[in-house]
Structure 1
Amino acid sequence: MARILVTGASGFIGSALASALVDGGACVRGVSRMPLALPGVENVIVGDLSAKTNWRAALEGVDTVVHLAGPAHARFAEYELKAQISDATGALVAQAEAAGVSRFIYVSSIKAVAPRTYGNHALVEAGTPQPGDAYGRAKLAAEAAVRKHPTLRPIILRPPLVHGPSAKANFANLLRLADTPLPLPYADVRNRRSVLALSSFIAAIRALLAKPDGPAGVFHLADAPALSTGEIIGAVREGLGRKSNLFAAPWIATLGPDTLTESLAIDDSAFRSAYDLPPTNAVALLTQTARAWKARI
């Protein structure tokens, strides 16, 4: 049976993906910095990520790599992001080619393309990337490293924020805020933000694995449609069993994080067409995530 290597298998996305693939009958090896507790997942420990990382033990006998390891946010210094994202990815993809891996799937970020969109514009793969911070630049450099190895038929996925009941950081903060009776000033905010459910991400990876002769290249990935912040909060509060409780006060809304008022819309039609992936419902999936999160606490 072909073995799939999932790097970053101790993380929010990687652990869920590795477990889902095992449940589907796949042979999975998970790379992590600490021992994993994922039933059915073979574990290889790899140390710090850099250009010098030795992936040999992890790559032995592997057919497909799904590379998720690395910082998920721009909270690190630029040199750390370069080392752990672009340099480490370059080392992994070169060693994967030498080890005889057949396919390399790199999970990048829509931040490699742009920090925001304007009006009704949605980001497509053909656009010129213009990352807005060190994290986006490191992701774009990692993409370039992957694309230097066409024999691996590389797939580069650019998701937006991925949400699930065990999500951390920004989405976890949003869940906690939404799970209060506080009225929120986003009724009149007309931005458009794409999000992606963890279940949708896993479905996309399964679609890639089910079509080994599918096209290589760079693909965007998101649930549809892109939503305003008010619509996102409304969907989340519905899952939490609360009323939307929004009011219009644009000047107050601008005092919060920029992500709650700016747009970042994505067109992923190319991927769904290439890999026969049906459309998803962003509102319903946000509601499901909030409902599952509520059941956990």
Structure 2
Amino acid sequence: MSAQLPKIFITGATGLVGSALVTELLAKGHHLRALVRTSSAQLPGSVEQVVGELGQPVDLSDSQVVIHAAARVHVMQETTSDPLVEFRAVNVDATLALARQAIAAGVRRFVYISSIKVNGEGTEQGKPFKTNDVPAPADPYGISKMEAEQGLMALAKESDMEVVIIRPVLVYGPGVKANFRSMMNWLNKGIPLPLGRIDNKRSLVALDNLVDLIVTCAQHPAAANQTFLVSDGEDLSTTELLTRMSKALDRPARLLPVPAGLLELSGKLLGKDAVMQRLCGSLQVDISHTRDTLGWVPPVSVDSALRKTADHFLSTL
């Protein structure tokens, strides 16, 4: 049966999403080749490692599907004078170079992991982003992802290669870092947080759910030349997320009922508008197009995914 599965070439194989994707694809019997800067002991021995740089010539022969998960992600403390130039070099130019090489090699499908930032930074509560919304990226990262999407779809129109674009919201799961790990750390230490009265709604996506959709998009006939939004299908307020994460950690939630308006005002005074927007603002996505087109349902519940994330976090302490 494994001989009938498409051979897959993957970038970003050692990242959070890529690592989980490699595990799932190998479990399903796929033959995998992965682009790496240097040979990595992190990857299973059954993965054929191709040493090289994104955007440079790479051997894609004998691969039917490319899953492009590597990217220059948003940098919290940017040092370059023109971030958009740096984002375009990796996220646009290198992506399109890889896609052109894929076309030349006869690759059948190119799956691109984009970002919800193509849609924008936030939504009004109850008015989620939809697949066919006019893109409205607000930062260099989002702009570069949008431009890559546009370039890929143009290449799809002039070639036989199918393109599939996936725009994830915030991804969480075992090994998650940055703000999500900081949140777990605060909760685990029992630090009181002034986030007990946040009435926003935010879509999240568990790592297992995102990986399941990517695997589906690698083969599903109806995915060809489509763009999909992805989430867990259950939106949470910041307060709900903290409460349920505390339960997963088996710790009491020490949340102080500070009004959101006061937090937003404090953020403006302290120059932390972006932080407060993430904590107090809404960002929802409508995944009905994804469900209807692919017959896809998120296989993992929010609470199950939070528990798995918490268990891994606790095991690393």
Q: Same fold (TM over 0.5)?
A: yes
CA contact (8 A) 1:19 1:41 kept: no
253, 277, 292: which one aligns with 1:273: 292
Report the equivalent of 1:166: 175
251, 258, 271: which one aligns with 1:242: 251
Matched, 1:21 2:25: yes
Report the equivalent of 1:72: 73
Report the equivalent of 1:63: 64
Task: State the Cα distance separating 1:252 from its structure 2 match.
Answer: 5.5
CA contact (8 A) 2:125 2:283 kept: no
Partner letter of residue 139 of structure 2? Answer: D
| Deviation sequence 1:138-175 (CA, Å, 0-9, x none) | 00001011101222221100001111121122222222
194, 200, 218: which one aligns with 2:203: 194
Report the equivalent of 1:44: 50
Partner letter of residue 9 of structure 1? Answer: A
| Deviation sequence 1:101-137 (CA, Å, 0-9, x none) | 0001000000011011112110001111100111000
1:295/1:108 CA distance change after superposition, 3 Å: same
92, 114, 119: which one aligns with 1:113: 119
Distance 1:192 1:252 in 2: 18
Task: State the Cα distance separating 1:292 from its structure 2 match.
Answer: 2.7
Q: SS where residue 150 of structure 2 aligns?
A: helix
Task: State the Cα distance separating 1:28 from its structure 2 match.
Answer: 0.6
76, 87, 91: which one aligns with 1:85: 91
Report the equivalent of 2:220: 211
5+ residue gaps, structure 1, are: none
Partner letter of residue 100 of structure 1? Answer: G
Question: Within 5 Å, which residues of 2 pair with 1:93-132?
Answer: 93-132=99-138
5+ residue gaps, structure 2, are: none
Distance 1:87 1:3 in 2: 25
Distance 1:208 1:90 in 2: 19
Distance 1:193 1:289 in 2: 18
3, 7, 30: which one aligns with 1:3: 7
Distance 1:223 1:177 in 2: 24
| Deviation sequence 1:215-269 (CA, Å, 0-9, x none) | 4311101112111101111121111111222221125633462211111111112
Q: SS where residue 148 of structure 1 aligns?
A: helix
Please, which moves more after superposition, 191-200 or 37-46?
37-46
1:90/1:209 CA distance change after superposition, 3 Å: closer
Question: Within 5 Å, which residues of 2 pair with 1:276-287?
Answer: 276-279=295-298, 280-287=300-307
Distance 1:159 1:147 in 2: 18
CA contact (8 A) 2:248 2:303 kept: no
Please, which moves more after superposition, 123-132 or 34-43?
34-43
Distance 2:64 2:105 in 1: 9
CA contact (8 A) 2:114 2:168 kept: yes
Q: SS where residue 255 of structure 2 aligns?
A: coil
Distance 1:253 1:183 in 2: 15
CA contact (8 A) 1:237 1:287 kept: no
Equivalenced residues, count: 292
Q: SS where residue 179 of structure 1 aligns?
A: helix
Distance 2:310 2:176 in 1: 11
Matched, 1:263 2:282: yes
| TM-score, length of structure 1 as denominator length | 0.92
Q: SS where residue 34 of structure 2 aligns?
A: strand
Distance 1:148 1:178 in 2: 46
Please, which moves more after superposition, 106-115 or 245-254?
245-254
Partner letter of residue 209 of structure 2? Answer: S
Query: Percent identity, aligned pairs only?
Result: 33
Report the equivalent of 1:32: 36
Distance 1:125 1:211 in 2: 18
1:55/1:21 CA distance change after superposition, 3 Å: farther
| TM-score, length of structure 2 as denominator length | 0.87
Report the equivalent of 1:294: 314
